[in-house]
Amino acid sequence: MSDLVIPAELLPADGRFGSGPAKVRPDALAAVAASPLIGTSHRKPAVRNLVARIKERLAELYSMPDGYQVVLGNGGATSFWDLACVSLIERCSSHASYGSFTKKFATAASRAPWLKPPVVTEAPFGSGCLPAVEAGADAYAWAQNETSTGVAMPVERPAGVDDGALVLVDATSAAGGIDADLAQADALYFSPQKNFSSDGGLWLSFCSPAALERSARLTSGHDGRWVPDTLNLTLAASNSAKDQTLNTPALATLILLDEQLGWMLDNGGMGFVTARTADSSGRVYEWAEAHQYAHPFVADPAQRSPVVTTIVFDEAVDAPLLCSTLRANGILDVEPYRALGTDQMRIGVFASVDPEDVSRLLGCIDWVLERIVV
């Protein structure tokens, strides 16, 4: 770490640029402190009304198609992968793997003894791919936004898949920051600690009628599959329909999520958040493209994420020193994902991040670079 002190007038108003957990709006946090719900039963009307409102607001944000259901449960997106192996994948899944998170789901499927080894299509870090269409694959999996590398991929049902094959899209870092047509996916799932500026511990999914039917069949016990309650999507769906969760949820997480949804919808909904993340990320990419010492990590502009931006610095720059200097000045979590090279920086520009703060951050990076590049 250097002992450089960035002049206060250059600093962003909020220094949180992580890729999750990420910036929580102070108003939302104040709402948690003021909430009469904390410390009360999740089986009683007040908390159930909160869950009902979250479901309604998510459906509104995404113009949810008829027949789809918002389902939620405890455990985050990581638990949803295991749940999908139990409740959604029948025999064989086809995955696209282009970073740490997409790879983790493929690995989870490869470990389930009742499934065939998954088909895995890989792309090198910094680019993306879609899962290969394979006869016999009954589920297709990829991420709308691969958070480890900053690669965004479209949500589009692949052509030519078997009848009834399910499309499972990890939208953990995309949801609430990048739009999607829900009709293109059977389960578009996420945790709320990214664009939704909540805390971790919960998974939510928009589920199509086909996904709900598949789950009802697989969890009925007809093929002897072990179905733990926590990985049973049908049980989660019946609890969600009653505005509850199977077991106790973190109430603060629900309150923060609801506050963020209210903020998003009050400001214009999906159009508002996507314009904001496009503005913020555009500032980072334009800056990097014009920079003497930096360039965007993702080569194809069409695959550059509007919510998680990744930058590579050239040899002249000691990127870890840059990140630690920023950290010492209150600019947090811009270090690259642990599996990527240390010559990088990853800047989360989720919906809550103010585009003006992004410009200030870039100004701070330049200010430090002027002093550490020799």
State which of positions 96-135 bind ligand PLP (CB under 6 A).
Answer: 101
Q: Read off φ and ψ for residue 201, nearest 5 degrees.
A: 105, -10
State which of positions 207-246 bind ligand PLP (CB under 6 A).
Answer: none
Scored b (16 or more CB within 10 A) or e, 338-361 reads eebeebbbbbbbbbbbbbebbbbb
Residue corresponding to tokens 């016999």: 136
Of the two residues 173 and 274, which places its CB atom closer to ligand PLP in the complex?
173
Of the two residues 152 and 264, which places its CB atom closer to ligand PLP in the complex?
152
Q: Which of 147, 239, 240, 329 binds ligand PLP (CB under 6 A)?
A: 147
Smallest gap from Cβ 81 to ligand PLP, in A, equals 8
Of the two residues 173 and 344, which places its CB atom closer to ligand PLP in the complex?
173
Contact between 200 and ligand PLP (CB under 6 A)?
yes
Q: Which of 90, 138, 170, 243 binds ligand PLP (CB under 6 A)?
A: 170
Contact between 199 and ligand PLP (CB under 6 A)?
no
Smallest gap from Cβ 104 to ligand PLP, in A, equals 7
Q: Which of 20, 73, 249, 336 binds ligand PLP (CB under 6 A)?
A: 20
Sequence letter at residue 141: A
DSSP bridge partners of 205: 71, 189
Contact between 172 and ligand PLP (CB under 6 A)?
yes
| CA pair distance 101, 97, nearest whole angstrom | 8
Q: Which of 173, 239, 253, 281 binds ligand PLP (CB under 6 A)?
A: 173
Of the two residues 69 and 78, which places its CB atom closer to ligand PLP in the complex?
78
Smallest gap from Cβ 343 to ligand PLP, in A, equals 22
| CA pair distance 83, 112, nearest whole angstrom | 11
46-54, 75-83, 249-257, 361-369 -> range binding ligand PLP (CB under 6 A): 75-83
| CA pair distance 142, 131, nearest whole angstrom | 7
| CA pair distance 145, 349, nearest whole angstrom | 13
| CA pair distance 234, 213, nearest whole angstrom | 9
Residue spans of beta strands (DSSP E) within 30-164? 69-74, 93-97, 119-122, 139-143, 145-146, 151-152
- Interface residue list for ligand PLP (CB under 6 A): 20, 76-78, 101, 143, 147, 170, 172-173, 191, 200
